[in-house]
Amino acid sequence: MKLKVLGSGSSGNCYILENDNEALIIEAGLPFMEVKKALDFNVRKIKAVIITHIHSDHHLHWFEYARAGIPVFEPFRNEGQSLEFDNSQFRIRAFPNMSKDGHWFHGNNDGSECPCYGFYIEHPDIGSLVYVTDTECVRWRFSNVNHILAEANYSDDLIDNEAVNREHVLRGHMSLQTALDFISTNDNPALRNVVLLHLSDKNADSAQFLQKTRETIKYGADCYIAEKGLEVDLNLCPFT
């Protein structure tokens, strides 16, 4: 099983979990055509697209999947918080994200809020994977998780205090410091990969973020920054 990063950030988020027989799409922030190309146009292997919330950089192209007959899982529409398939070994559970004041919502630019979810994904090839983004913190702890994909949008010492969108960044995005706390809490000998997501163009330093993440992890998991074109081997048994 591979993780393929097609986009990560405000310009559009989309990730693929793929093996020879099946694929799961996380976020629909990029055109479906980009996914088709990444899969060599073998769209029959797509089992579903799962989407965290309704913001366009995560949700904009959802209808392209629905039009193609691909299931679209949107837990923020109260369609349930788990997803299983008759024709796939993927098992997905959604969990609500939260703000630091305890609200289960993600901030909009106009000051309003929308619900946002994270995902706990299981598959025999990869074990378990946690995906969290567009949240100020994570309330949950995950036992013996094998892979973590977590937002690290900004750093407190890099954020522009004069920026007009400062409040939007702070309301509904996870700082590096909070991401490292989450990663440290869930670090364990079975953790194989940590991928930092959704870095801000202006308020993040990828080299610094990667170094601090490596310093945080005690058990030797591999660390990555989610950039377009990144591919990560997620197999628990790397030689199968």
128: phi then psi, degrees, rounded to nearest 5:
-130, 145
How far is residue 22's CA from residue 159's CA, in Å, rounded to a whole number?
40
Domains of the chain as residue ranges with CATH? 2-231 (3.60.15.10)
52 phi-psi bin (left φ>0, alpha ψ -120 to 50, beta other):
alpha
What pLDDT is stored for residue 30 in this prediction? Answer: 97
Burial class (CB in 10 A: 0-12, 13-18, 19+), 132: buried
What pLDDT is stored for residue 82 in this prediction? Answer: 85
What pLDDT is stored for residue 164 in this prediction? Answer: 39
pLDDT in tens, 134-162: 998 898 899 999 999 999 999 877 666 54
* Positive or negative: CA dihedral 22, 57, 170, 216: positive
Assign 3-state DSSP to the chain and report helix, strand, coil percentages, each to 5. Answer: 20, 30, 50
What pLDDT is stored for residue 200 in this prediction? Answer: 87
Burial class (CB in 10 A: 0-12, 13-18, 19+), 6: buried
pLDDT in tens, 13-24: 999 999 999 999
pLDDT class of 87 with cuts at 50, 70, 90? confident
